[in-house]
Structure 1
Amino acid sequence: MMPTLGLKASTSRKQIDERLQYYPSVFEFYTDAHDVTPAGLAHLEEMVKYVQSAGIRHIVIHHPMAYDHHHNDVAVSALKDPAGYQFMMSSSEALIGLAIKLNIQVLIHGGYSEEKPVIDAFGDLKSARKMIFARLDYFQKIGGEHVMFENSTSPAFDYGDAGLENTVIEHGYRLCYDISHGFIVLHGDNDKLVQSIARLAPQTVHYHFVDSMGQHHDSLQLGKGRIDWQRVMQVVNPKATNIYEIDLADQNDSREMRASHQYLTHLIATQNKA
């Protein structure tokens, strides 16, 4: 697979314009809680149309990661945190509705919380996963080809876990595979990472390319971590889209994402000449 230039930004016009000057093929919106208010949704729709007017067809909206200083987690207890549950459901439904209207994609993250909060909420990991899959089934039913689900470093929804991957495959989900998340879950094991990516490739429609040392969530520029990108690129789905989800020194400057694209493009070009 030859990667495309995929960039990420908030709904800030300044950030969007900075990204658009480099003519990305894929654009992903990072949203927050304000973006799913009535005013925020109206602005988000305007910004999506603005990006579309630049000729970009592949647009993804990443659901809000946080609500009221807490993770916006699919694994939220409706009984113990009704406000959090209501936000998670209503924001996801609103974004799916917008995606259908504008013919774009919504990315819903399968989990954020570490194991203890999940178990505290549901009693055990098995029960938490059962609830997560029920909710993802619902989002898939209403979103169809406009919704995808991203893996986490949380045991609630972590690619690299064979049991969870089996269930994901059985449910036929459209997937976003965050490469660094898989690497962290597998404790920096490139062999197991490649196996996981290959196994889920037929259902993967979008990738987050981001490097890592494999110990914790570090969101490194490609080439700065320990992921074997030559091997990874041999097993990804060539029909999928991608962005570079890298920590930026300045949110108004996408240079670390663009440098990652240059690194990966050069790596593959060199490999093809060998």
Structure 2
Amino acid sequence: MFPYLGLKASTDETQLEERLQHQPEVFEFYTQASDMTPDGLAHLSQMIDRVKSAGVDHVIIHHPMAFDHAHNELAVSALRNPASYQFMMGSTESIIELAKARDVQVLVHGAYNAPLSWIKAQFGSLEAGRELVFDRLDYFKALGGNHVMFENALSPLFRFGEPGFERRIMGHHYRLAYDISHAFIVLHGDNDKLVSSLARLAPQIVHYHLVDSMGQKHDSLPLGQGNIDWVRVKRVLNPNATNIYEITLDDEDNCQAMLDSHNYLKSLDSRSLLVGR
């Protein structure tokens, strides 16, 4: 039942077992480049088995966030950066095929932090960069079907919060992963616009990254420690979606901040009733 106790970890077995002791209902693997080798993919497959054997029904593989000390951007040029392009395409295709075989989900970032200046230098215009991103998202959608979802970024290449661009995204009928802190930062801490964006996209959202923020930079705070109005936000979330708590941890072997965030969100039920009177 939403919200789920959703936890994230790498494929490291110590992290994995620390999370599983709390009996999560959703588990998201955060992969890296080393997980995309033949041995790495075999290990990832084994860890998926371990999570499923613990009774976790909802398993997500987050595509590698970095390659060669840079973000693993979909909008990478095949001509200018062939190695990065080959990694981006090859790794995403590999984990989508694994997800289909193991009946789990893959989360792909539509973009990361690429600023407008970089986009124009690479592609000539924001529109040209967005067209490339849409082309690649369409390809991965066709390849993965109901096993793939796409997450919003801070970059204008693929961000939530702009009504016109959101309607364009909806026109592609993507399954969406909504990172609430990313949108809040894009919207400069405006809770009214955040709630409107969440409500507008809700029918296509299948997964949430629940994380707080002050609305100025990527800070990944526990829920209740930032400026997001969680009482209002919770009312417009899609109850059929899954979620994890994507909190920055001081110690990757201790997910207490994620557990605290889950308890905080659950505690809002009574507060919401009082506010609604």
1:262-273 equivalent positions in 2, closer than 5 A: 262-272=263-273
1:125 equivalenced with 2:143 (yes/no) = no
1:222 equivalenced with 2:223 (yes/no) = yes
Please, what is the CA RMSD of the aligned residues? 1.1
1:136-151 equivalent positions in 2, closer than 5 A: 136-151=137-152
Question: What SS is found at the alignment partner of 1:176?
Answer: strand
Deviations 1:166-186 (A, max 9, x none): 111000000000000010010
**Contact 1:198–1:236, Cα closer than 8 Å, also in 2:** yes
For 1:106 and 1:114, locate their aligned partners in 2 and report how far apart those are by CA, in whole Å. 25
| Alignment correspondent of 1:241 | 242
For 1:118 and 1:12, locate their aligned partners in 2 and report how far apart those are by CA, in whole Å. 35
**Contact 2:35–2:41, Cα closer than 8 Å, also in 1:** yes
Deviation at 1:210, TM superposition (A): 0.2
Deviations 1:190-247 (A, max 9, x none): 0000000000000000000000000111100100000000111100100000000000
| Superposed structure 1 runs of 4+ greater than 6 Å apart | none
**Contact 1:165–1:200, Cα closer than 8 Å, also in 2:** yes
Deviation at 1:270, TM superposition (A): 3.4
**What letter corresponds to residue 179 of structure 1 in structure 2?**
I
Alignment TM-score, normalising by the size of structure 2: 0.97
**Contact 1:6–1:28, Cα closer than 8 Å, also in 2:** yes
Deviation at 1:271, TM superposition (A): 2.4
| Alignment correspondent of 1:169 | 170
* Deviation larger for 185-194 or 73-82: 73-82
Q: Measured at CA, do residues 59 and 269 of structure 1 come closer, stay the same or move farther in structure 2, by a change above 3 Å? A: farther
Deviation at 1:77, TM superposition (A): 1.0
**Gap runs ≥5 in structure 1:** none
**Contact 1:2–1:268, Cα closer than 8 Å, also in 2:** no
Deviations 1:121-161 (A, max 9, x none): 11111000000000000000010000000000111101002
Question: What SS is found at the alignment partner of 2:73?
Answer: coil
Deviation at 1:2, TM superposition (A): 4.1
| Alignment correspondent of 2:204 | 203
| Alignment correspondent of 1:185 | 186
**Gap runs ≥5 in structure 2:** none
Number of positions where the alignment pairs a residue of Structure 1 with one of Structure 2: 274
